Chains A and B, each alone.
Chain A
């Protein structure tokens, strides 16, 4: 009686293997809610991928490193995965970052992301042999060094011969169009930085580049090694292997005008009231902005708001491939759906399909077949 994610195991694992094999040097991203799977499970899965024979040379280092979003997430993955852990949020001299930096047991496995000169100096003062990547600011303007900032890094690193540079990181926006020219421009800044010779000076960690863009960059910068950080495309790339189901807990016939629910609403027409598992505690009914800025997207958002005002809102639950309306706003662990007269009425105990945003959903149970 729970919200269940069912994973078609063979299919999912085949997709993971195929993706890893196609991206030498792949760095799986394991962050947030673990893309619905949970951080621990993905950490174990990364370990499994690291142990696979993927058909390319071992030197490629595929899946020898995973990426977490924050220092607070390290605890969830460190015991389940034996390789290196890169933290995507830039290191700052406060909070959990300092605790992690002070941890001697982690020191050799942790790869920090550094985006400011003062942070680099501070980090290297605390840990002269720290491992780190230098983040170069992209057009996203979120974190990272400017071109000039990166040029100064070269000097700092020459003063800290023990420092272990693992590469330069670039986090591109989810823009339409190609990132190749921006990436090339940023790589020119890397050349200008005159980083101390070594594999780190020739490794670039990238996110959100298509395979074509990656191939283009590798051709233009043949002496550089590109490491692709991938979350959604890896874990959720094979949607057909994933199904989310809820269970029908109760069914009640409803006449027009009947009063129901927490808030004593009245039914606008006759039909059935369905009580199903899955509520706000799972993330059901909580909508994150989709980021769709097009006219259609905005109109759809408005329309949904309008529905809310006059009566029922579309729910993510679908019965017989038809999306059904919420009869009232979802509760913590269950939701009430309205089924108009004439539709097939499922029985108590039946399952119902749910469409969710995996990155915003918590499942009660994950079944991998």
Chain B
């Protein structure tokens, strides 16, 4: 990120008010990218919460936006205002108070006892090689034990400012663990100067096993079919979900119901269709001789592409359907001009004995970077209710 230019002394304070979903979406389109959790569509996915599109105005100009989800406190008409992976504002501003104070005041007016947000800023990065060496090194147990490739100055300033403005960092360990991950794994699709990489360069960065598996899948005749738009996605959804439930049983996690994914497709892919972007959300189905061996969901907003959900068969693992589906998503992101392919959350453990380390190892094979984000931060607006809420979340 680059530092914002010094503002004129006369700049008006920023005001916050509700905007229409259309205005909201229009603003996001002017930005290079934003988290898909900050799109109006995501508010429709999280239908059990009240949602609001907020605009930040400098004078008459719309300069920022937020999707706010209001989560109700049990039996009370008071809410936690949640801004997942947002708000979308100029985080490089050295005066974040002028953005965040009006946001908090607005939420208080809406009955919020606290605000939670996840500033979309990077604080540190580690290379795949570093992560790999860290896993092999018994002395290294967490990502933080390794000196990062870089610590981001802008990210550090955000952390400093949030702490001094009374925001509280929500620790990764314990507490409200249902939040968005603080550590993610990303594959850069542009070089240090911002020039797009080609497929060969992305392949070259992967480890040998990934490259071999991708080749193997192609040789075995695995074909990946990618949907475009709402109708195709809905059509492919049942096949995806069946395999996803199968994966959940095998890997012991609780699957989300088909209806959840249907809502997601209708909202996210629907929003994409409105914008003439049939690939905002797409399903990729990898088949081998007619058998579904892997299925994934990808999302893209502007230059940021995410791998969102994945499922794989227990049979025919040797045809490497998962690698084929991943490669299809990466090529897709490259073709769309994305700057980053985001494999989303990892835990920060590098302990070889930890059960989570397998997930990191899989993602590390892509040759990308482990990225630490600012994490989630809370601003209590009503101390008593906030404390009650924290206790409630801790005991849940």
Contact = CB atoms under 8 A, between A and B. Distances in A.
Interface string A302-314: 0000000000000
A191 B160 CA distance: 10
B164 interface: yes
Q: B interface, by DSSP: helix, strand, loop or mixed?
A: helix
B157 A192 contact: yes
B144 interface: yes
A169 B131 CA distance: 31
A192 B374 CA distance: 13
Contacts of A189: 156, 160
Nearest to A152: B94
Contacts of B145: 219, 222
Contacts of B393: none
B146 A192 contact: no
Contacts of A222: 144-147
B147 A192 contact: no
Interface in B138-165: 144-148, 151-153, 155-157, 159-161, 163-164
A151 B144 contact: no
Contacts of A52: none
Contacts of B144: 219-220, 222
Given A191-B156, A192-B156, A151 B94 contact: yes
Interface string B182-203: 0000000000000000000000
Interface residues of B, number: 17
A147 B147 CA distance: 23
A189 B148 CA distance: 17
A194 B161 CA distance: 15
Contacts of A194: 153
B156 A223 contact: no
B147 A148 contact: no
A194 B164 CA distance: 19
B159 A188 contact: yes
A225 B28 CA distance: 42
A151 B148 contact: no
B163 A185 contact: yes
Contacts of A192: 153, 156-157, 159-160
Contact of A147 (B146, B148, B153, B160): B160
A194 B144 CA distance: 20
Given A185-B163, A189-B160, A192-B153, A148 B146 contact: no
- Name the residue among A148, A192, A220, A223 with the largest chain B CB count within 10 angstroms: A192
Contacts of B147: 222-223
Nearest to B164: A147
Interface in A33-86: none
B159 to A, nearest CB: 5
Nearest to A190: B156
Nearest to B3: A194
Contacts of A191: 151-153, 155-156
Contacts of B159: 188, 192
B348 to A, nearest CB: 12
A65 B385 CA distance: 53
Contact of B94 (A148, A188, A190): A148
Nearest to A202: B147
A175 to B, nearest CB: 18
Nearest to A191: B156
Contact of B156 (A148, A188, A219, A220): A188
A193 B153 CA distance: 7
Contacts of A185: 160, 163
- Name the residue among B144, B146, B148, B160 with the largest chain A CB count within 10 angstroms: B160
A151 B146 contact: no
Contacts of B146: 222
B68 to A, nearest CB: 27
Given A147-B161, A222-B144, 7 more contacts: A147-B160, A191-B156, A192-B160, A194-B153, A219-B144, A220-B144, A223-B147
16 contacts: A147-B161, A147-B164, A148-B94, A151-B157, A188-B163, A191-B151, A191-B152, A192-B153, A192-B156, A192-B157, A192-B160, A193-B153, A219-B144, A222-B144, A222-B145, A222-B146
By Cβ-Cβ distance, the 10 closest A-B pairs, closest first, are A223-B147, A191-B156, A192-B156, A192-B157, A222-B147, A194-B153, A147-B160, A191-B151, A188-B159, A189-B160
